[in-house]
């Protein structure tokens, strides 16, 4: 359970528990319900604020997270120039995967620029006013491509917090960038200084909505689909040739040679092995035809990363749960599942960026049985 680690002063300024004197002298109020707060700075429990009258409600804890969100906005709005991160995307073919054909994908990278002379307009984060809700942009700017940039800030633990629910809502032509930070652990953030350092370390940028304004995505999709069509035609032709061969041999079974040929043909392995429709017991949530990435590490151990049906990314220690796997990633990159069997992350890029130079290679296959170390012991 989280603790109330921040309140607001009479003038509406954010105060963390370590910033104020003990007891009622703290002079703080709950951002959510405006109750008077008492600073509890004992030696047994984690330092926290308590409501003087009545009980705190779940909204009150959300109010403390909102204060962290406001501090994040203060950091962003005072950092200059504001760096717009590049948008990376893998476009994958949408054609049928006949005869076990692998997916064909292409990486595209886009960079956005602010309109000439434009600056970001930030929501007021210093006054006593509450921030707009997390589903509203707290920073906007005109882009050089004529569209609008919208910046959202969210501090949240559940479901990785990397989605606002309906990303296309609001302005459907705006490019939407989310600055996300995981909620701190109880007792992790006790002062403005520590909160600032925590945010600077844990903030992640995620593009949550990236319209295909210049047609780059549709062009890449047309390209991979054309390649997929070509591959499908080739596979169909190969299969139809096999059928003809089979028919020809059946028609001349009186011929001993042909009969021997047919026997060999029946014993030979099939041209392509169709992928199991059940998938893999250790990866039951894998998206059909998804790529499995394997990253062996220089110091031993390895990671396998694949996309799930739900659209997030599963991160598995490979080929077993090696020592220290559960402490490898910070929660801002990948979160340990409650069953402590695997991790979940937002995207492959964030995970590979973090692994960086610690890996000694990369394998990528839509058939995990081709990966070194298969079958895993998970
Ligand atoms: Zn309250």
pLDDT per residue as tens digits for the range 125-175:
766 566 788 788 999 999 999 999 999 988 876 555 455 566 656 788 899
192-202 vs 58-78: helix axis angle to the nearest 10?
70
Mean pLDDT value of segment 248-264: 59
Q: Give the long-range contacts of residues 335-338, CB within 8 A, separation 24 or more.
A: 335/160, 335/182
Q: Assess whether pLDDT exceeds 90 at residue 116.
A: yes
Q: Please report the DSSP string for 176-240 in residue order.
A: EEEEEEPPPPTTT--SHHHHHHHHHHH-EEEEEE---TTSHHHHHHHHHHHHHHHHHHHHHHHHH
pLDDT of residue 274: 45
Q: Assess whether pLDDT exceeds 80 at residue 233.
A: yes
Average per-residue pLDDT in the chain? 84
Q: What's the gap in Å between 49 CA and the centre of ligand 1?
A: 10
Q: What's the gap in Å between 35 CA and the centre of ligand 1?
A: 6
- Residue whose pair of structure tokens reads 């599963």 in the numeric block: 314
Q: What's the gap in Å between 29 CA and the centre of ligand 1?
A: 8
Mean pLDDT value of segment 48-71: 86
Q: What percent of the chain has pLDDT over 90?
A: 36
- Residues 269-293 have pLDDT tens digits of 544 444 444 568 888 888 888 889 9
Helices (H) and strands (E) counted in the chain, each on its own, are 5, 17
pLDDT of residue 124: 80
pLDDT of residue 131: 76
Bridging pattern class, strands 363-365 and 334-336: unpaired
27 φ/ψ sector (left φ>0, alpha ψ -120 to 50, else beta): left
Residue 297 phi/psi, 5° resolution? Answer: -100, 150
The token pair at 200 is: 């600077």
pLDDT of residue 354: 87
pLDDT of residue 1: 44
Q: What's the gap in Å between 88 CA and the centre of ligand 1?
A: 41
Question: How many CB atoms are closer than 10 A to CB 264?
Answer: 10
Q: What's the gap in Å between 48 CA and the centre of ligand 1?
A: 13
Mean pLDDT value of segment 308-336: 89
Q: What's the gap in Å between 240 CA and the centre of ligand 1?
A: 71
Q: What's the gap in Å between 73 CA and the centre of ligand 1?
A: 22
Q: What's the gap in Å between 38 CA and the centre of ligand 1?
A: 11
pLDDT of residue 3: 78
Q: Nearest 5°: CA angle at 65, between 335 and 9?
A: 155
pTM over 0.75: no
Residue 222's pLDDT band, with cuts at 50, 70 and 90, is very high
Q: What's the gap in Å between 64 CA and the centre of ligand 1?
A: 9
Which residue, 280, 315, 277, 292, is CA-closest to 365? 292
Q: What's the gap in Å between 124 CA and the centre of ligand 1?
A: 23
- C-beta separation of 61 from 2 below 8 A: yes
Q: What's the gap in Å between 57 CA and the centre of ligand 1?
A: 6
- Residues 73-108 have pLDDT tens digits of 988 888 777 789 999 999 999 999 888 888 899 999
Q: What's the gap in Å between 14 CA and the centre of ligand 1?
A: 14
Collapsing DSSP to helix, strand or coil, 149 comes out as strand
């Amino acid at each position: 359970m989280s603790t109330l680690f921040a309140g607001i002063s009479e003038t509406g300024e954010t105060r963390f528990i370590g910033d104020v004197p003990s007891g009622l002298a703290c002079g703080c109020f709950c951002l959510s319900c405006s109750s008077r707060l008492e600073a509890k700075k004992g030696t047994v429990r984690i330092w926290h604020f308590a409501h003087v009258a009545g009980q705190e409600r779940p909204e009150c804890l959300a109010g403390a997270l909102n204060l962290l969100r406001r501090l994040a906005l203060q950091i962003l709005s005072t950092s200059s120039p504001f760096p717009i991160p590049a948008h990376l995307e893998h476009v994958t073919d949408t054609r049928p995967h006949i005869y076990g054909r692998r997916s064909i994908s292409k990486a595209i990278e886009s960079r956005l620029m602010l309109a000439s002379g434009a600056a970001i307009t930030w929501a007021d984060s210093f006054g006593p006013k509450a921030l707009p809700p997390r589903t509203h942009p707290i920073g906007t700017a005109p882009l050089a491509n004529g569209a609008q940039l919208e910046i959202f800030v969210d501090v949240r633990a559940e479901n990785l917090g990397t989605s606002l629910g309906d990303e296309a809502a609001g302005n459907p032509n705006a490019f939407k960038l989310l600055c996300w930070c995981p909620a701190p652990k109880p007792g992790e953030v006790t002062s403005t200084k520590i909160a600032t350092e925590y945010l600077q370390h844990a903030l992640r940028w995620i593009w949550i909505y990236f319209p295909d304004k210049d047609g780059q995505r549709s062009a890449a999709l047309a390209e991979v689909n054309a390649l997929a069509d070509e591959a499908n035609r080739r596979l169909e032709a190969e299969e139809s040739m096999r059928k003809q061969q089979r028919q020809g041999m059946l028609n001349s079974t009186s011929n001993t040679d042909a009969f021997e040929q047919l026997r060999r043909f029946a014993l030979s392995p099939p041209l392509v092995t169709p992928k199991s429709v059940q998938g893999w017991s250790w990866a039951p949530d894998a998206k059909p035809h998804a790529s499995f990435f394997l990253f062996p590490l220089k110091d031993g151990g390895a990671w396998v990363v694949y996309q799930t049906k739900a659209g997030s990314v599963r991160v598995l220690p490979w080929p077993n749960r090696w020592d220290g796997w559960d402490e490898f990633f910070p929660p801002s990159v990948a979160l340990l599942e409650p069953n402590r069997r695997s991790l979940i992350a937002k995207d492959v890029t964030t995970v590979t960026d973090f692994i960086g130079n610690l890996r000694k290679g990369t394998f990528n296959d839509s058939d995990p049985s081709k990966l070194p170390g298969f079958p895993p012991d998970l």
